[in-house]
């Protein structure tokens, strides 16, 4: 590691745009993940201002709302995103024909469902794209687990995980959208999390 992670978190952790510039000028292969949830246009605008062609990786579970798909299409076009979609190995229609509707979070099958539609595609994305830097729109106020995270961390496999907006509030995010005339999406639902403050496991594994 050719930088002081504690110093970076201290000096840039409260400055999302400066932290994004730092991460994307390390000279390492970077990706940005998205799920096109509320305020997601903030991180997508921030990273493409520094590196317009950064691969933007979307784990499209096939279970997004119609509004989320329309929002995604709008943002992709506005920002000319270099989008790379990763899909489950089975389509939603295939899975539901064999196993029925989405299992609830208290259904023992929900763990396997989450693995199939989100975790496996993300693991595959990391394996195939082999990033050295991963930018994400995680925010501390999202869940108790995320409140304990640092803006920059190093995973066990050496992947540098950067969460530029970790310490931003919803108000900060909204003001950035307004400033840059960016769209938003509140009709969002993640069947792997279901509840707002619940983790799906992706950021606990990686």
pLDDT averaged over consecutive 10-residue blocks of the chain (206 residues)? 88 96 97 96 98 97 95 97 97 94 88 91 95 95 80 93 96 97 92 64 52
Tell me the catalytic residues. Answer: 200
Q: What's the total number of domains in the chain?
A: 1
Give pTM, 2 decimals.
0.90
Q: Considering the domain boundaries, does residue 124 fall inside one? A: no
Q: Considering the domain boundaries, does residue 61 fall inside one? A: yes
CATH of the domain at 22: 3.40.50.620
**Range(s) of the domain holding residue 164:** 5-89+129-180
User: How much is the pLDDT for 46?
Assistant: 98
3-state secondary structure of 111: helix
Instruction: List the beta strands (DSSP E) in 53-159.
Output: 55-59, 82-86, 133-135, 152-154
Q: Which residues of 143-176 are buried (b: 16+ CB within 10 A; e: fewer)?
A: beebeebbbbeeeeeebbbbbbbbbbeeeebeeb
Q: Considering the domain boundaries, does residue 161 fall inside one? A: yes
Q: Considering the domain boundaries, does residue 105 fall inside one? A: no
Q: Considering the domain boundaries, does residue 40 fall inside one? A: yes
201 burial class (0-12, 13-18, 19+ CB within 10 angstroms)?
A: middle
Question: Distance between CA 177 and CA 169 in Å, rounded?
Answer: 13
Q: Considering the domain boundaries, does residue 83 fall inside one? A: yes
Q: Considering the domain boundaries, does residue 49 fall inside one? A: yes
pLDDT digits (tens, 9 = 90+) for 24-57: 999 999 999 999 999 999 999 999 999 999 999 9
């Amino acid at each position: 590691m050719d930088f002081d992670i504690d110093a970076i978190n201290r000096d840039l952790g409260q400055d999302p745009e400066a932290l994004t510039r730092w991460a994307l000028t390390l000279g390492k292969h970077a990706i940005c993940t998205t799920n096109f949830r509320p305020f997601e246009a903030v991180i997508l605008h921030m990273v493409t201002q520094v590196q317009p062609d950064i691969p933007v990786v979307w784990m499209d579970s096939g279970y997004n709302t119609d509004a989320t798909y329309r929002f995604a299409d709008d943002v992709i076009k506005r920002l000319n995103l270099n989008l790379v979609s990763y899909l489950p190995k089975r389509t939603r229609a295939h899975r539901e024909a064999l196993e029925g509707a989405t299992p609830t979070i208290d259904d023992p099958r929900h763990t396997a469902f989450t693995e199939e539609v989100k975790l496996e595609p993300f693991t595959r994305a990391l394996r195939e794209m082999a990033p050295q830097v991963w930018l994400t729109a995680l925010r501390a106020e999202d869940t108790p687990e995320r409140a304990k995270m640092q803006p920059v961390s190093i995973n066990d496999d050496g992947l540098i995980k950067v969460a530029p907006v970790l310490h931003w509030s919803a108000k900060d995010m909204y003001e950035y959208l307004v400033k840059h005339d960016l769209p938003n999406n509140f009709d969002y639902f993640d069947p792997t999390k279901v509840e707002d403050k619940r983790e799906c496991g992706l950021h606990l594994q990686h």
